[in-house]
Amino acid sequence: MSSQDTPAREVRVAAENIGGIDSDELTIAPGVTVLSGRNATNRTSFLQAIMAGLGSERSSLKGDADEGFVELEIGDETYTRTLTRHGDQVSYGGDPYLDDPQLADLFAFLLENNEARRAVERGDDLRDLIMRPVDTADIESEITELEREKQRIDSQIEEYERLQSELPSLETERHEIETELEEARAEREELQTAIEEADVSLEESRSQKREIEEAFDRLREARSELEDLEFELEAERTTLEDLTDERDELEERLAEAEAADEDPQRLAGRIEELRNRQRALNETLSQLGSVISFNEEMLEGDGLDLEEADVAGDGGTGELTDQLVAAEDRTVCWTCGSEVDADRIEATVDRLRELRTEKLSERNELQERINDLTSEKSEIERKERELDRTRRRLDDVEAEIETTEERIADLEERIADQEERVEELEAETETVGGEYDEVLELHREANELDLRIDRLESDLADIDAQIEERESAEEQHESLQERREEIADELTELRTRVDRIEEESVESFNDHMASVLEVLEYDNIERIWIERKTRNVREGRQKVTKSTFDLQIVRVADDGTTYRDTIDHLSESEREVIGLVFALAGYLVHEVYEELPVMLLDSLEAIDADRIARVVDYFEEFADYLVVALLPEDADAVIDAGTSVAEF
């Protein structure tokens, strides 16, 4: 549902066990709604409740609750969201406003932990964030499929070219076989003529002739069977040699594999331990942030109660001037109630800031350690899976070797028996002839020639098949070359389309960031823009071109000169501002207001009240419901006659 489908109506939000909320309800009017209050008053929790009802899964369940619930009523429509704890995980159910909250999470729900804001603060490559909502999935999928097809075609072309390179030698071999076969056939005809002439003298003994022919038929069959067995034995020996080589390679691979220094289960335990420490640090950082913000507000004078009674310690009889001077230097501590120097409180706040910085650094180090251990655990598990596959394959190979050796032994035994059978039949042919030894010799030679001719004809048939395969490969090679060129053109067009979408997205972001920056009117920031760069990276065996989107900044020095800077050199508050500028630009670029009528803003302390008011005025035009969490002093600059205010 888009905001255009939803007329401006009040939105009722009811929440239970969300963030720090036990139970609360609020009605949001169209336009701007300010959630005004001090820190730790559940303003952010209420924003999380709105997010949950709209479809986000980035809201938190109250720490002491197993279930949470949000209900949104927009006119006659009711949307629900449930949160249920399962151990360390929280599952989301119900019927929220959005089916897919991705775009809203990135560019409409702009709380402190918003991914877009934090990515800028860390100096990340912004391409993924900018392009994630853009529908390039089909294009990328098509590119991937075409690249796979191109790889298959390249392999086929390589194979066909190899086959074609063998064609000349095959044709030479065919010519040699044809020549040898022609000579063998001619020789066989001569022998046949000699046999027929000799057979004339055998007319007197037809039974003897028949016995001779039958003896030679048996011999020919026995020799043919012996050749088949020898061929089968050679094939089995080749198989055994290949299996033995594979076994040696597998055994060598297993021998070279190093035992893992760490147990994956132990690493998992360490990772969980580090995550628990990280969660504890997050809680500490949250508490420190609240304490620091509270003390900063008190030091600035908001809510600061100067001691009106006997500051000079003279029973109220001191001079008024002395009292005023004392009041400037000393105040009543709002934590312990004792009278202390204001400088001491400021020093304590400074130490708290330093502690927060140390804790942030510790949290980052923990995250890096978690990432390292997770990668180490994944690598160990991957190696163990490979070793398991290697061991299983080794077992299979050894079983195949054993089976092959048994077949070889059986074949060798059968060949030995067949050789004896051939010798017996040869002896038989020598005995059946009697006085016809010359005729028998002619038959024996003819028998051997028949076997030779059969073998040559078989070889010739194999060569003809190979030549035919290579000749047909030439035609396929041409069609594959054509298809490869078509794929190259298609890939160029698709990549150009992605490049064009990236360029248009970057241009749009830059335009809108300029507009937002103009609204904010920062004197020391001249320009913020995203620079699109391409670089070649290796993916597997292929080199591919990848785009990166880097944030660039032009700053203005005190003397008015401009210079180029990076996010790394900015202060924490400046990073916060630029992160917010980027996120606000994303809201406009991707026209989130067309899909979602609600925009949420929080953690704007890095921007002064007047600029917050200008941002609210600017975005009020786009969002039907703009909900902003502000400190009371900042809220005063935003509130006008048309603004709804909810006190927290």
Q: Tokens 């500051």: give the residue.
A: 311
Query: How does pLDDT run across 449-489, given as a tens digit for each residue?
Result: 888 888 888 888 888 888 877 777 666 777 888 888 888 88
Q: Are the C-beta atoms of 446 and 192 separated by less than 8 Å? A: yes
Q: Rounded distance, CA 15 to CA 101, Å?
A: 19
Q: Tokens 């086929």: give the residue.
A: 156
Helix (H, G, I), strand (E, B) or coil at 194: helix
Q: Rounded distance, CA 172 to CA 177, Å?
A: 9
DSSP 645: E
Q: Does the pLDDT value for residue 322 go beyond 80?
A: no
Query: How does pLDDT run across 169-186, given as a tens digit for each residue?
Result: 888 888 888 888 888 888
H/E segment holding residue 26: strand 23-28
| Poorest-pLDDT segment among 15-19, 103-107, 163-167, 560-564 | 163-167
Q: What are phi and psi of 413, to 5 degrees?
A: -65, -45
Mean pLDDT value of segment 336-353: 70
Q: Which two tokens stand for residue 274?
A: 């580090």
Q: Rounded distance, CA 635 to CA 381, Å?
A: 54
CA distances from 142 to 136, 200, 483, 494 (A): 10, 80, 16, 8
pLDDT at 6: 46
Backbone Cα Rg of the chain: 44
CA distances from 446 to 220, 422, 456, 481 (A): 10, 16, 15, 52
Going by pLDDT thresholds of 50, 70 and 90, the confidence category of residue 223 is confident
Q: Of the candidates 622, 592, 621, which has an alpha carbon nearest to the alpha carbon of residue 100?
A: 592
Q: Does the pLDDT value for residue 267 go beyond 90?
A: no
pLDDT at 313: 42
State pTM to two decimals. Answer: 0.51
Q: Tokens 């910085």: give the residue.
A: 357
Q: Rounded distance, CA 626 to CA 32, Å?
A: 5
Would the CA dihedral through 19, 24, 27, 33 be positive or negative?
Answer: negative
The sheet carrying 562-565 orders its strands as 525-539, 542-556, 562-565
- pLDDT-above-70 percentage for the chain: 83
Q: Does the pLDDT value for residue 613 go beyond 80?
A: yes
